[in-house]
Amino acid sequence: MLEARLLTKIYGGEGGMPPQRAVNGFHLSIHPGEWVGVMGPSGSGKTSLLRMLGTLDLPTSGELWFRGRELTALSPEERAHFRRCHLGFIFQDFRLLEALTLRENTWLPLVLAGEDPSVMQERSDAMAAALGLENGWHRYPRHASGGEKQRAAAIRAMIHRPDLVLADEPTGNLDSKASRALLSAMDTLRQEYGSAILMVTHDPVAASRCERVLFIRDGTLMTEIRRGEDRQDFLRRILTVVSAMGGERLDLEGMGLS
């Protein structure tokens, strides 16, 4: 469905500033219904990669293909239309409109698609119930907690059942119960509607829900591991790679994983 070929992003290099290579010759293929995790140290290029895959930033070089269309060759208007029709974004900073309630914010993709108001309300209320958001549903963002805003942003990203959800730390502002509910909702979207998910995360437990996890450092793919039948074994392998990349020794025995 989506294929990145030799994606490279370089920042700086102007006014005497040295250039910074945030993403370096990255290859990636994502198939319909696939759940892919991306992990790596802070500053490793995860968010830069996500923004390029979502056409929010153009690469310095490389190609990005979606079902036979080369996205970097599109005009700004065509890329905006592509994002509206095919993508859903969960940003770390929420990107909610302050003039709308949380509930109204989640309707935006369906409003832009010309959907019937009854469908908007039915879908959003069902997703709010699944994510435990009913109590804060009618608040404006300035009166909502970080967890409430995160769940509203997630609903907005999924409500139109996009081809691909790009999620940047989607559980970062959530407690364990809300995190499990959101990850389950993402899994339901994937299984029932064939949406693919690319999720940047620092949370090994969240990453263990994925089918495969890519580990990047300095903008380069270091390794990739795939999930088998045993999720606990997958989590253990994720933790081992995280430990090796971070130079830390994790207490796997203390986590009940050895």
Q: What's the pTM value of the predicted model, to 2 decimals? A: 0.91
Q: Please say if the pLDDT value at position 236 is more than 90.
A: yes
The confidence score (pLDDT) of residue 17 equals 72
According to DSSP, residue 99 is labeled T
How large is the C-alpha radius of gyration of the chain?
Answer: 19
| Closest CA relative to residue 164, chosen from 109, 94, 86 | 86
Q: Bigger pLDDT: 257 or 234?
A: 234
Q: Please say if the pLDDT value at position 249 is more than 50.
A: no
3-state SS of 195-249?
A: CEEEEECCCHHHHCCCCEEEEEECCEEEEEEECCCCHHHHHHHHHHHHHHHHCCC
Long-range residue pairs from 71-80, CB within 8 A, at least 24 positions apart, any chain: 79/55
DSSP string, 22-63: EEEEEEEEE-TT-EEEEE--TTSSHHHHHHHHTTSS--SEEE
* Mean pLDDT score of the chain: 91
Question: pLDDT tens, 134-185?
Answer: 888 999 999 999 999 999 999 999 999 999 999 999 998 899 999 999 999 9
Cα angle 94-97-99, degrees, rounded to a multiple of 5: 145
What is the separation of C-alpha 200 from the centre of its chain, rounded to a whole number of angstroms?
6
What architecture (CATH level 2) is domain 2-246? 3-Layer(aba) Sandwich (3.40)
Query: Cα-flanking dihedrals φ and ψ of residue 121, to 5°?
Result: -70, -40
Domain boundaries defined on the chain:
2-246
